[in-house]
Amino acid sequence: MTQETGGFAALGIHPAVLAAITAVGYEEPSPIQAQAIPVILAGHDMIGQAQTGTGKTAAFALPMLSRIDPARREPQLLILAPTRELALQVATAFETYASQLPGVGVVAVYGGAPMGPQLKALRQGAQIVVATPGRLCDHLRRDEQLLSTVKHLVLDEADEMLKLGFMDDLEVIFAALPESRQTVLFSATLPHSIREIAEKHLREPQHVKIAAKTQTVARIDQAHLMVHADQKTAAVLRLLEVEEFDALIAFVRTKQATLDLASALEAKGYKAAALNGDIAQNQRERVIESLKDGRLDIVVATDVAARGIDVPRITHVFNVDMPYDPESYVHRIGRTGRAGRDGRALLLVTPRERRMLQVIERVTGQKVAEVHLPNAQQVLDARIRKLTASLQPLLAEAEASHGELLDRLTAELDCSPRALASALLRKATNGQGLTLAEVEREQPLVPGVAVPRERRERSERAPERGERSSVHRERRAPMPLPEGRVRCRAALGARDGIAAKNLLGAILNEGGLARDSIGRIQVRDSFSLIELPEDGLERLLGKLRDTRVAGKQLKLRRYRED
């Protein structure tokens, strides 16, 4: 027996199952596995309580697989899961763990797919059935004997199943199962409704509980950041500059917000996509696959759409919008720190959400430290660090291949190698700011600056508004101009990744204007309209002639509608 599988071997699971988990590289059982496996192997009913990411699937799959009789070609083990994603995930895990057990088959039964093939697979002798309650009931209506041979039942994420309204379906399924079966129930929380089910349908269950505090949450470095609601996108963009992440999931509350943030990130060159309930199931699966294999690095999701995502690459969770309750917070941040890795979770808190932060700290039993947005210097340092790291491996080879060209270019352009290299840098970095002044201009707003009180309060009351509303106003007819103001046009728009506040900040900083002398700012797709004072306009445009925002020239000029 190798050192690595020692922990699992001592638990008494089947040698073929042991071989399979060695092959996938599990070294030690997780705490819930160490406690639950012997109980389940001994045939007891059990209630297992542990947070997301603690390895509950293997906690029931390994012992249950060890108890299956491959010679009997009929359903023996039924696992109920709340969603199609989770059912598929569990089915896949079973296939992995059973890969060295000849003659053992798994079938997944869920809604949104034709019933015929599922029924056929069931009748072909799969011993393991992973199902969502709704679809399983549909099958039961056609064949009430379907579950008569089942000896073991697992309710996975039982609290989620009840939240999704599967109570009645569960009762139908219980009634269709033999009384003399083993029942194991897993749940992150044990509300009254779950205890009731346990009392009614489990026999002298043993309790296995892993405190959340010593699990998921402990491996995750958590921090919060105070921001105003309309500065969230800017805050996210700035955080991304300095956070060293592999893959990241950002949580927002609405479908629209998933689309808005994902496109703001894409505009900045990140490989980002939105994930929400409106996106078709197969497309959602593609998004998750892409996040797994690195075609995407950032997914912006709602809580519902992100349920059950298990991507080990995820190093960061950004809670851009506050979760609705502390449980969802724990669920969300459990998307990182998978399988014993370290993760980082950031929570954006608007001033009126401070109370929720305290509730989260109480429930998780941990302080969520406050951090501040990186300043321009830190952003610059991070950019230069990344630039240096990307150039390092090219040096030797590039000189060999391009050295002569460089000599020729310096001769033709009649410039120093230093001047040429600087020009190439500018080109290669797409005009991204690489001096302190440029970075400051790109990201002019820091919390508490240049947001007058009255405006701030308005945006807090409608947290989904703020900067986005200016984008959405796009197609409306132009508003009449107030006395003494003129409309000016900047050559930058939403597609350049800018928001109204970036323009505002740049004009305030460079133009030396008072905030209230700047009127409405409308960010359209490829340009923006800004109301400025007519008085002194020429001088102002002169001052702003070379101003850059987000690395690009503002090219501000008077706008005349025809």
Interaction site with ligand ADP (CB under 6 A): 26, 28-30, 33, 50, 52-58, 310, 312, 338-339
The interface partner of residue 337, options being ligand ADP, Mg ion, none and the CB cut-off 5 to 8 Å by kind, is: none
What backbone torsions phi and psi does residue 305 show, to the nearest 5 degrees?
Answer: -65, -25
> In whole angstroms, how close is the CB of 183 to Mg ion at the nearest point?
17
- 108 or 264: whose CB is closer to Mg ion? 108
> In whole angstroms, how close is the CB of 358 to ligand ADP at the nearest point?
26
> Long-range contacts for 432-435 (Cβ within 8 Å, ≥24 apart)?
432/383, 432/551, 433/380, 433/383, 433/548, 433/551, 434/380, 434/383, 434/384, 434/387, 435/380
- 187 or 302: whose CB is closer to Mg ion? 187
The interface partner of residue 94, options being Mg ion, ligand ADP, none and the CB cut-off 5 to 8 Å by kind, is: none
Q: Is 84 in the site for Mg ion (CB under 5 A)?
A: no
Which stretch, 51-59, 168-176, 239-247, 494-502, contacts Mg ion (CB under 5 A)?
A: 51-59
> In whole angstroms, how close is the CB of 345 to ligand ADP at the nearest point?
16
- 55 or 463: whose CB is closer to ligand ADP? 55
The interface partner of residue 35, options being Mg ion, ligand ADP, none and the CB cut-off 5 to 8 Å by kind, is: none
Provide the 10 A C-beta neighbour count for residue 383: 17
> In whole angstroms, how close is the CB of 91 to Mg ion at the nearest point?
12
CA distances to 156, 286, 310 from 289, rounded to whole Å, are 23, 5, 10
- 86 or 529: whose CB is closer to Mg ion? 86
Structure-token pair, residue 20: 């399979």
Is the separation of the CB atoms in 426 and 387 below 8 Å? Answer: no
What backbone torsions phi and psi does residue 261 show, to the nearest 5 degrees?
Answer: -70, -40
- 170 or 257: whose CB is closer to Mg ion? 170
- Binding string, residues 252-271; x marks residues near Mg ion by CB under 5 A: --------------------
Residue type, 561: E
Which stretch, 49-57, 230-238, 317-325, 531-539, contacts Mg ion (CB under 5 A)?
A: 49-57
Is the separation of the CB atoms in 187 and 49 below 8 Å? Answer: yes
Q: Tell me the H-state helices in 131-191.
A: 133-142, 158-163, 167-176
> In whole angstroms, how close is the CB of 102 to Mg ion at the nearest point?
27
The interface partner of residue 54, options being ligand ADP, Mg ion, none and the CB cut-off 5 to 8 Å by kind, is: ligand ADP
Which stretch, 54-62, 214-222, 329-337, 438-446, contacts Mg ion (CB under 5 A)?
A: 54-62
> In whole angstroms, how close is the CB of 105 to Mg ion at the nearest point?
21
The interface partner of residue 338, options being ligand ADP, Mg ion, none and the CB cut-off 5 to 8 Å by kind, is: ligand ADP
Hey, what's the torsion of the CAs at 528, 533, 539, 540, to 10 degrees?
A: -40
Please give the span between the terminal C-alpha atoms of the chain, in angstroms, as a whole number.
83
- 66 or 263: whose CB is closer to ligand ADP? 66
Residue type, 289: E
> In whole angstroms, how close is the CB of 250 to ligand ADP at the nearest point?
20
- 156 or 531: whose CB is closer to ligand ADP? 156
Q: Is 232 in the site for Mg ion (CB under 5 A)?
A: no
- 56 or 139: whose CB is closer to Mg ion? 56
Q: Is 56 in the site for Mg ion (CB under 5 A)?
A: yes
> In whole angstroms, how close is the CB of 96 to ligand ADP at the nearest point?
8
The interface partner of residue 307, options being Mg ion, ligand ADP, none and the CB cut-off 5 to 8 Å by kind, is: none
For 330, the enclosing helix (H) or strand (E) is helix 326-333
> In whole angstroms, how close is the CB of 333 to ligand ADP at the nearest point?
12
Chain position carrying tokens 């429930």? 363
Rounded CA separation 318/320 (Å): 6
> In whole angstroms, how close is the CB of 72 to ligand ADP at the nearest point?
27
Rounded CA separation 105/123 (Å): 11
DSSP 132: -
What backbone torsions phi and psi does residue 154 show, to the nearest 5 degrees?
Answer: -120, 130
CA distances to 217, 323, 339 from 334, rounded to whole Å, are 7, 13, 10
Q: Total number of residues binding Mg ion (CB under 5 A)? A: 1
Rounded CA separation 214/93 (Å): 25
- 56 or 284: whose CB is closer to ligand ADP? 56
- 307 or 468: whose CB is closer to Mg ion? 307
What's the burial of 276, exposed, middle or buried (CB within 10 Å: 0-12/13-18/19+)?
Answer: buried
Residue numbers of the site for Mg ion (CB under 5 A)?
56
